Amino acid sequence: MATMTESEKKAGGAWEVIRVVIHALIIAFVIRTFLFQPFNIPSGSMIPTLLVGDYLFVSKFSYGYSRYSFAFSMDLWGNRLFKIGPLPFNGRILASNPNRGDVAVFKLPTDNETDYIKRVIGLPGDRIQVQGGTLYINGEAVKREQVSDFDDTDSYGSERKVRRYRETLPNGVSYYTLDLYDNSPGDNTKEYVVPEGHYFMMGDNRDNSTDSRFLGQVGYVPFENFVGKAQVIFFSHEPDASLLAIWDWPWTIRWDRFFTLLN
């Protein structure tokens, strides 16, 4: 009976490790492409719903799949290691329309590459306007009730109180928004008419969000550009925290935000 040499055993063990790694990468690729993709929040445009330092899962299947569903890249220290997609086809497969109030990730229409996350406010054909900080949909003011102030920290590290409102859309979806300033550039707008096949997106931090109100920077978002729906926050840390400083975790990790479901 033939026996394996020591070198053959080592080669077999090495190949087994490689095979396991390849299988794990394939499984991760399938999950990321077709089911859930992780995103982190780098800016405050969706405060108080999403905070800088939140990590969340986005369901790729919620709206079906477009060419941007298969597009992603990996960067390291500012250098792009690789880029995949978008694939050369138009439209969506297994399409399901976004609902008003969804928190969704989409590709910025001005470059079709940068990931943005905002809330779906206007559906195709809607008339959207903001007057005095109040949102109007099809000529009707959206219900807006002031609640307790939000404790915030400005860019200089100073604590401040920010006006917080509970906004309720016509379909009953309710969430909190912030009002930092009176008469900011997005507080009084013209009336927008959302084109067919497009959506009007806004951040919950209304005075600190570049969104569909600014046509030259974001504008109306084509349905094709939607990547997925934000579902759950799975991890969160303070913006200035270092994840390598494990000894600081009890104070820098936001434990209470783990597994927070999003509307």
pLDDT for res 232: 96
Catalytic residue among 107, 118, 209, 229: 118
The average pLDDT across 37-41 equals 92
pLDDT for res 228: 94
What is the pTM for the complete model shown? 0.84
pLDDT for res 2: 52
Residues 70, 64 contacting (CB under 8 angstroms): no
Cα Rg of the chain (Å, integer): 22
pLDDT at 31 over 80: no
Tens digits of residue pLDDT in 120-166: 999 999 999 999 999 999 999 999 999 999 998 776 777 889 999 99
Residue type, 144: R
Q: Which two tokens stand for residue 237?
A: 């840390």
Minimum mean pLDDT range among 3-7, 152-156, 173-177: 3-7
Task: Give the other-Cβ count within 10 Å of 208's Cβ.
Answer: 19
For residues 88 and 230, which has the higher predicted lDDT (pLDDT)?
Answer: 230
End-to-end Cα, the chain, rounded Å: 65
Question: In whole angstroms, what is the distance from residue 146 CA to residue 79 CA?
Answer: 45
7-261: CATH, from 3.40.50.720, 2.10.109.10, 3.30.450.90, 1.10.1370.30? 2.10.109.10
Question: In whole angstroms, what is the distance from residue 198 CA to residue 213 CA?
Answer: 14
The average pLDDT across 172-179 equals 97
Please report which confidence band the pLDDT of residue 187 belongs to, taking 50, 70 and 90 as the band edges: very high
pLDDT at 84 over 90: no
Whether 212 is a known active-site residue: answer: no
Closest CA to 98 of 85, 70, 114, 117: 117
Tens digits of residue pLDDT in 50-64: 999 999 999 999 999
Residues whose CB is less than 8 angstroms from the CB of residue 2 and which lie 6 or more positions away in sequence, other chains included: none
Report percent pLDDT > 90 for the chain.
63
pLDDT for res 13: 60
Mean residue pLDDT across the chain: 87
Q: Which two tokens stand for residue 120?
A: 């779906």
Catalytic residue among 45, 66, 69, 209: 45
Whether 45 is a known active-site residue: answer: yes
pLDDT for res 85: 57
For residues 9 and 23, which has the higher predicted lDDT (pLDDT)?
Answer: 23
Minimum mean pLDDT range among 10-14, 47-51, 114-118: 10-14
Tens digits of residue pLDDT in 202-261: 999 999 999 999 999 999 999 999 999 999 999 999 988 887 888 888 889 999 999 999
Question: In whole angstroms, what is the distance from residue 169 CA to residue 136 CA?
Answer: 10
How many residues comprise the chain?
263
pLDDT for res 175: 97
